[in-house]
Amino acid sequence: MNKKLITEQDIVEMAKRGEKVLRVDADTMLTPSAKDAALQHHIQITDSHDATSSKGQSVSPVAYTPSKVGNSPNASTIIALGSDHGGYRLKETLKQYVGELGYSVADVGTTSEEACDYPDFAYAVAALVTSGQASRGIMIDGVGVASAIVANKVPGIRAVPCYDEFVARSSREHNDANVLTLGGRIVGSELAKSIVKVWLETWFGGGRHQARVQKISDVEKRFTTQK
């Protein structure tokens, strides 16, 4: 079977039409320039087999919100944001707050408190991060643990559930965590804001920590490298 080739021009035409999601399958190939164009135009590339939920709400096209601070040095930094029904209210609060911190936001949903499946949205957040379409991701479910489990199944993701500023800071400085998960039913909005601010503003320490993070990647490669 011939594979379908997606080029940079195809992505540009999608952007002109206002499309924000490109669904691909095993028979689709993207050129490197097409991937770069998708990032530039904030078009999410997602597996067509994983795009919908088995019940309840499904992942919608990504809602991109530019930074609310026009001259912010973080305006070009995109934070992927998602939740299930248990984290929806906190997601909406953090969406506003992350924008106020000067970041741009790519919201994958959910869009209400209607019951839905957290794996779909955790995967959508992780996919944006591992593909380079978002710098980091934040996912909120009821407790914060389940979404971390899902996100950590995605190659290249280091997701961590956080309940205080110390863990948030450590996860960034020591582990270079790129997805933060929170519990919408156990973390209040003000504490969540503090955690998010610390997590976004803490840089990876490198040095001795780099070798340890590399070992995490090495473990992952043992199970993902095709033989």
Tell me the catalytic residues. 174
Q: What residues have CB less than 8 Å from 151, skipping those under 6 apart?
A: 122, 123, 125, 126, 137, 139, 157, 159, 179, 181
Q: In this structure, are residues 192 and 163 in contact, taking their beta carbons and an 8 Å threshold? A: no
Q: In this structure, are residues 155 and 220 in contact, taking their beta carbons and an 8 Å threshold? A: yes
Report the alpha-carbon angle 146-112-179, nearest 5: 35
Q: Which two tokens stand for residue 146?
A: 């389940």
- Within 145-207, residue ranges assigned H as helices are 145-151, 165-173, 189-201
What's the chain's length in residues? 227
